[in-house]
Structure 1
């Protein structure tokens, strides 16, 4: 027996006019479709490539003909400092101030964990009240 939704009452009722089940439906083989080709709009691409640019010309922002703004010398020195391979973690490469901040952070983490364990211990074994 098959059921359908009654339009009058809004409930599921037995149906008499359905002769075959709606599901499962016999599968239909999918047709092979060729994958679409990617088309690039050349209007947004830069006209000068890095290889063909003269040595004095700066690199361009991708997708535009606008050159990158110049980088200051202090930023270049910082980049060289942080990119140097000297087996020092990046969070300590800033010098002694970074080391001090790292140690302070670790100490505060230990104090916080001690406070958490103290609170849990206090809730697990409450003091007896006389």
Structure 2
């Protein structure tokens, strides 16, 4: 005898062999027709286009590589100057402030209420 899990009763119930070996919710039949092609027109490669490719700006990667690969004693998250220092200090201040706020809230919540 074959068994199959019943989603209605949440128990194993008797079943025929064909339904016991097929997953629930999936169709066993495969469609005989192939799906239609969305883009039937050929795509045009970039090298085939007549207009030259223009980027939004200059390539900054070599400059940034030179900055970040320099062997200095400055941590990598502070190498780009004042804006990095300001962002780092603001993040640390908010982190410490949030931790202190959580500790104060826990302390207040732990105090018994006066009746």
Give the TM bin, normalised by the shorter chain: 0.3 to 0.5
Q: Structure 1 or 2: larger helix share?
A: 2
